[in-house]
């Protein structure tokens, strides 16, 4: 039986996503038996970015208007500069990310993808990494930033760049397979999630 059989995962992205950071996790999730949906702001296709130019496109399976956080077991946030910058300025996107992350469901962000997580207001005390230019942004949001290829903190998986994709996808699969993680209470201690995985 595949590790992620029965799991449903959302990949939230907009135009300008880093192509490898969407495609490689998507391939890995499908290979492990997960049901994966690319979720975006509008229907149709979103255009990818690779190095210094537009590169390829991906079909949008669902728009944010058509989904709820309850439908998914986990969330993946690819990087690229334009993509998370668009998402963090969209109220529906931020509410969707916040609902999944706050519930203790595995949330996986690579490179600039962590930008959107800042808008949740839930990074206080969380260990994270990201593309190096986000270090101060994440520290200002209360995160403990470290320079490693992958950082795992109670279901939160973060990586720095496309070079870290092998470690990122491995950790992503492990955390999603484990299911919903413990939540911090108002004192910063970890409690069991409100509902079972």
> What is the rounded distance in angstroms from the CA atom of residue 145 to the CA atom of residue 57?
32
Are the CB atoms for 94 and 88 separated by under 8 Å?
Answer: yes
The torsion angles phi and psi of 110, rounded to 5 degrees, stand at -120, 145
Answer yes or no: 111 catalytic: yes
Q: Which of 108, 111, 154, 187 is catalytic?
A: 111
Structure token digits, residue 102: 């706050």
Return all residues near 162 (Cβ < 8 A) that are at least 6 apart.
Answer: 18, 20, 21, 110, 111
Q: Which of 15, 108, 112, 181 is catalytic?
A: 112
46-55 b/e (C-beta count within 10 Å ≥ 16 → b): bbbbeeeeee
Query: By the 8 A CB rule, do 36 and 60 touch?
Result: no
Please list the helix, strand and coil fractions of the chain in percent, rounded to the nearest 5, in that order.
35, 25, 35
Q: Is 112 a catalytic residue?
A: yes
Catalytic residue annotation: 111-112
């Amino acid at each position: 039986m595949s590790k992620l059989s029965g799991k449903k995962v959302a990949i939230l992205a907009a135009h300008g996503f880093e192509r490898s950071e969407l495609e490689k996790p998507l391939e890995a999730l499908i290979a492990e038996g997960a049901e994966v949906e690319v979720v975006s702001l509008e229907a149709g296709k979103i255009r990818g970015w690779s190095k210094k130019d537009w590169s390829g496109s991906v079909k949008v399976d669902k728009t944010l208007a058509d989904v709820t956080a309850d439908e998914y077991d986990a969330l993946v946030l690819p990087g690229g500069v334009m993509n998370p910058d668009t998402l963090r300025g969209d109220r529906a996107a931020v509410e969707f990310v916040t609902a999944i992350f706050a519930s203790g469901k595995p949330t996986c962000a690579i490179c600039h993808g962590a930008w959107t997580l800042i808008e949740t207001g839930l990074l206080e005390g969380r260990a994270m990494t990201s593309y190096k230019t986000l270090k101060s942004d994440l520290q200002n949001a209360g995160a403990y930033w470290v320079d490693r290829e992958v950082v795992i903190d109670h279901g939160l998986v973060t990586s720095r760049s496309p070079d870290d994709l092998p470690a990122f996808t491995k950790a992503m699969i492990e955390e999603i397979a484990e299911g919903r993680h413990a939540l911090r209470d108002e004192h910063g201690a970890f409690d069991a999630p409100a509902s079972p995985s």
